[in-house]
Chain A
Amino acid sequence: MAYQFDFLSVLDYTDVLLKGIAVTAQLTLTGGVLGVAVAIFGAWARTQGPAWLRAIVSAYVEVIRNTPFLIQLFFIFFGLPSLGVQLPEMVAASLAMVINLGAYGTEIIRAGLAATPRGQFEAGASLAMSPLQVFRHVVLRPALQKIWPALSSQIVIVMLGSAVCSQIAAQDLTYAANFIQGRNFRAFEVYLVSTVIYLLLALLLRQLLRGVGRQLFARRAR
């Protein structure tokens, strides 16, 4: 007997799906914005920061980039309470995503800074700008412009990685999919629908980031 597809049974749980999409969007927004902010700070620290700060940031980047996101999430959510730090799941999920994107973003932006010609730094110094001012006003924006596609990809990866946050009962899209599947046992329909939704969300996010890039980085005649 062939499997009887029943996509309409998924529509019974539209409200659960919509809530899941909203939570995924919220996690991505928080994680993306704060993560990029952490990444910019980290890139600055690794290139121009004092030695002790450089060591701390390097350690942070190496640990986060070489451990699984799920373990980081579980440590924050299940492990930290033993040290007295009790975080609700949305805070824990957002924090994990910020830390994760911050580490990968640091390396990406640092690559952009490394690709900036030395002349830019020297020109800024010759105008009596402090290294921090040079960083902020001269080299950061071109560096970001160079690596914007790579950083956008990383943000989309982190958005898709937010699916893992369902493991700590953050009610994102994957949690909604698992919830529906646990009630109507229609794994094929449920997971196909959620895959399509994730695909649309990712495409939307890419377009959004492309738009942000166009706004922030005016195209200059070369």
Chain B
Amino acid sequence: MTPTPSTPLFSKARRALLLGLFASASVCVAALPRPAQADTLADITKAGVLRVAVPQDFPPFGSIGADMAPQGLDIDVAALMAKKMGVKLQLVPVSSTNRVPYLQTRKVDLIISSLGKNPEREKVLDFSEAYAPFYNGVFGPADMAVKSAADLAGKTVGVTRGAVEDLELSKIAPANATIKRYEDNNATISAFLSGQVQLIATGNVVASALIAKHAPKAPETKFLIKNSPCFIGMNKDEPALQAKVNAILAEAKKDGALNSLSIKWLLRPLPAQL
């Protein structure tokens, strides 16, 4: 109604209309969800889908199988999470560089991608308990009694020159242990398999690969040099999600589900430290 001398700007009708609009607007704003505490767990349950970032080129944690479907330890752990939460699983293949940004921009809810914990990451992510081992250690045949660096006295250990194992082992090995350094990983493995060295210092994934290839001398873990197990990553300030993830992992450790996944993909049971 256009204002005329007989109908002022804020006539009774217009006032009532404006008041009604304002009242309904307030009710709507009051009813909006508050972004104060994001609850991803509730969102996941409501949407019925758990989105997980998984690796696609890092066996045995994640790779593309012959049927073009993702397979690996991380994929199986993601499936376990989704099943226990009672939701569907959506796998999102990521690389080492983009997995954290995917989580931060909420393209995924969890990162299960052989993620290691370090101080820089702890600033932007929260971590669950460890679910899989990832370590450098000394490996050898089952009948050799070596439990610590001191037991290497008088024995020969093969290692790849310049690798983390080389630098760390050189610090902790006793003086009468013989460390033989080879130029690359393959030569080190060949030296161990041909018996030129009694023990080998390498990563647990390499040792698992040796077992998978049915090597005549199946390497058994003797002691760890450097331990950097895998954790599940999630956004900060998600207490409900973190508690739920840790609860599922604890249950899986207790009933042996996590152990059987470790045997299936890493060919060895979970170490006691995990």
Task: List residues of A whose CB falls within 8 A of some B CB.
Answer: 74, 77-79, 81-82, 86, 88-89, 166-169, 175, 178-179, 182
Contact = CB atoms under 8 A, between A and B. Distances in A.
Given A179-B161, A182-B161, A167 B183 contact: yes
Nearest to A169: B180
Nearest to A81: B194
A13 to B, nearest CB: 13
Given A86-B195, A89-B196, A182-B161, A78 B190 contact: yes
Which of B182, B187, B196 gathers the greatest number of chain A CB atoms within 10 Å? Answer: B196
Interface string B140-175: 000000000000000000100110001000000000
Contacts of A166: 183
Interface string B3-36: 0000000000000000000000000000000000
Given A78-B194, A86-B194, 13 more contacts: A78-B191, A81-B194, A81-B196, A89-B180, A167-B182, A167-B183, A168-B182, A168-B191, A169-B181, A179-B161, A179-B181, A182-B162, A182-B181
Contacts of B183: 166-167, 178
Contacts of B182: 167-169
Which of A89, A167, A169, A182 gathers the greatest number of chain B CB atoms within 10 Å? Answer: A169
A169 B195 contact: no
A78 B166 CA distance: 21
Contacts of A178: 161, 181, 183
B170 to A, nearest CB: 9
Nearest to B184: A167
Interface in B29-86: none
